[in-house]
Structure 1
Amino acid sequence: MCNLSQGIKEEAYAEGTENGIAKGVAKFIIKMYRKGYEVEQIGDILDMEVEEVQEIIEFE
């Protein structure tokens, strides 16, 4: 992975942690999304706003 990609990924995780979302949850969201879960489903399962889930996925 290039340094730019790594920096963006680290920034996304840092932002998620600042917003009260643990790194593990962010990884879990990305994994669910890659397996085909819809953003709305992930939000419902984790009791999160769709916008929060979408932000994490976009930073991935």
Structure 2
Amino acid sequence: MSGNIICPSGMPVSWTSKKQSGVSLLTMEADIVATSEQARVLLGIMEMLNSSVSRERCR
């Protein structure tokens, strides 16, 4: 099992919990799999936020 939660400013915006598809031989290997999944989700959230925020400066 692996899971993660993303809480910017203390507010949860994304969470997952799932059974890993393979068997890890080392704890570190399982951590890397979970961390890479969390990074993928975080990149998606960042892309969504960047596309919804205007980059124009207020005058």
- Structure (1/2) with the larger helix percentage: 1
- Same fold flag (TM > 0.5): no
Q: TM-score, normalised by structure 1?
A: 0.32
- Structure (1/2) with the larger strand percentage: 2
| Larger relative contact order (CA 8 Å, sep ≥ 6) | 1
